[in-house]
Every structure is written in structure tokens, then in C-alpha cells.
Structure 1
Amino acid sequence: MTVVVWIVEGTWPACVDAARTHAHPGAGIVLLHVTPADVPGAAHGAFAGLLGRGHPERDPGTQLAHLAAASADQLLTTAAQRLGRPCTRQERTGRVEREVVTAAEGAELLILARDGDRTHLGPRSLGPASRFIVDHAPCPVLLVWPETAPGIATIPPPPPPPSHPPQHR
């Protein structure tokens, strides 16, 4: 059994704790972090377009890529320490939602946290990437609250009853 745990800044502790609770002792655990590819690319494009290409050592895209890699490595190291058992750390770069879905192929379980409006129960508690992942995951998904879930009184009201058009005889 392989359990993939999506590690994201701000919500990762709840995901790691869920893996400790729900993954059986013999399960292989993969701690996954995905760095979006678009940020360093945009910085590189801006630098190349505005300032030319004469000084690649000053390219902010390269600097951002190095900072992102160091940050991801530190985050995965901290998550592995919290997990407290053997695991594999995996860093990917690309479209976050697609990289997570691809990494979950063949897994027995994918663990991720809600990342939208966490003050209310309901669909808005998932951000766009998480919604995509939940809708397209090729394995079962364990969706956790990064903090205590809001009470059921926060459930949005039901939609109004449909109005019936007049019937013609």
C-alpha cells in the first residue's frame, strides 16, 4: 500500500498527522511537494524582456527556482520529521493540480487538506487546485481539515424550491 501525502505550506501538519493515524504500519508513504513552474518562468521572462540577456547571473527566475527548491526541501524534511517513520520525499515542478493527480496514480490513498474558505462547511472550503485533485484523483482521497472543522451550523442554506412554470392543457 502506498499513501501519497500532499505537502503544502500552511496545511501540511494536518496531512502528516492524518497519515500517521490512517496509514497502516507497513504502508509506504510518499510526502509530495509541488512547486508551480509559472512563477520562476514569469520572473525569467520579465528579466529577459526588460533587461536583456547579458547577465544571466542576475536572472530572478533562476534565483526564485533555487529558493523554491530550498524551501520545498526544508518543508519536506520538517514533514518527514513530524511523520516519524520511513518515507519517500518527492518534489515535482509543474501545474500543481496535475502533478498531484499524476503522483497519485497507483496509490492506495491520497491525503490532502482543505485550502479554501475554512470558516464554513461546504464546497468553497476547497481551492481550485484541491477541487481539481478531488475530482480527478485516480485513487481514494482522504480530505482533512487543517484545523478544527467548523460546526454544522455553517452549512449553507438549501437552495430555494424550483418555481414551476404554468402547465398548459
Structure 2
Amino acid sequence: MARSFEMDNAMVTDATTDNMLGRAPAARRFIRMVSLLVVAALAGCATTRAPHGAGDHSPAPTGATQDHSSAIYERGDAGYYAARFDGRTTASGETYDPHELTAAHRTLPLGTRVRVVDLDNHKHVTVRINDRGPFVSGRVIDLSNAAARKLKMRHDGVVPVTLQIVSEPH
């Protein structure tokens, strides 16, 4: 229902005022257009994974290759668990054992086996994902102490790595 008000001693409705000023319908069209563009932009951002090769930390699409052992899934920095985590419960329900070849990853299914290659010294180790993390910006994986020793990275603390999926849980 249109509202009425008095303007220069005449009764005028909102619709009449909009047409008289000529700006309100254009402003409404502009707002609608901007709203549609925002919705379209957000819909384009709704993918669950970045395209392979879209940046240093981009995962490859699931099932991109049959030979997981040679396909790089992700690139980024690896750290390792601090001693204070020894004996704590991991996301899989296991107790963290620094002597096991395990790791934490944010999104890979628990139980996934991943080959981690240190890009500085080219050493590699295969670990099983049994925890969630890392929760430090820029890192893609946190390794157990045993895995860090295999990569000879304990002195450095954080090293650039690639991750290759070896096998996924059944």
C-alpha cells in the first residue's frame, strides 16, 4: 500500500514522488543489480577445493589421477609436534606417540597415508593422518617427531614440503 503525504499543498504517493524525482527507480535497479552481482560472486566462491596449481597451498582435485604416489596433492610448510603433545588424544581417538610415523592435516580423511617430501633436502617419509591441524597459519601438515627425524628437519623446525596421497582409508 502506497503512503500518502502532503507536498506543496497536494496529496502525493511514494510512487508518484519516485517517478517525479526520477532517481529512486534507478537507485532501486542499481541496488538490485549490485545484490545480484554479490550473490553471483559468492556462489562462485562456494567450491570446496581450490583448483590444482592455484597457489602454493592448493590441493589437487580428488581423483585427479589414478597414480596417487606421483601426484602432488598440496604444497606448503610442515612443522612437527611439540613434546607437550606426547600422550594426548588425537582426533582419531588414538594417543599421540612421537615414535610413530603420523601427522595432522586439516582436511584429509583420518587414516590417509601421505608421502611428505622436504623440498630443501629432498628426503621423504610416509605418514598416516590421525589428527587435525596444524593450527598455525601457513602450515599444511604437522608431523610426529619420528617423521620429523626421518626428514632431518628437527633443527629447522619448519620446512617447505609437498604432500602426495599414497592411499586413502577404506
Query: What range is the shorter-chain TM-score in?
Result: under 0.3
Higher relative contact order (CA 8 A, sep 6+): 1
Return the index of the structure with the highest Cα Rg: 2
Bigger share in strand: 2
Q: TM-score, normalised by structure 1?
A: 0.22
Give the TM-score, by structure 2 length: 0.22
